[in-house]
Amino acid sequence: MSENPTATTPSTGRRGRSVVLTVYVVVIAIAGLTGFLLGTYGPEELRPVDLFFLIELQPTPLGLAIYGMGTMGVGLGVLLILVSYASQRYDE
């Protein structure tokens, strides 16, 4: 019988999590870069945005980068936490 040693290696779970974390960080960085570019080269008549209805951010490059990174980070972070919880609870 030929066994596949990589299928039973406990490090595959860690490797999968690091891939997901890397993709998460890259998506957050792209959101920040997009916000920065929108604040730099976007239309002049942009209005201030509210981050989570609490913090008003001006439509500057830094403000829009923080807005993009914050909203994407929390949105994707909540989804990843829910998926992680579901995968641990329902192993079968």
**Could you read off the pLDDT of 35-74 as tens digits, one per residue?**
999 888 878 888 887 888 888 878 888 888 988 999 999 9
Please give the pLDDT value at position 32: 94
Range of the domain at 84: 16-89
When divided into structural domains, the chain yields a total of 1
- Does 46 map to a domain? yes
Q: Are 52 and 69 spatial neighbours (Cβ–Cβ below 8 Å)? A: no
Please give the pLDDT value at position 17: 79
Is the pLDDT at 83 greater than 90, yes or no? no
- Does 51 map to a domain? yes
**Could you read off the pLDDT of 1-38 as tens digits, one per residue?**
455 555 555 555 677 778 888 999 999 999 999 999 98
Burial class (CB in 10 A: 0-12, 13-18, 19+), 68: buried
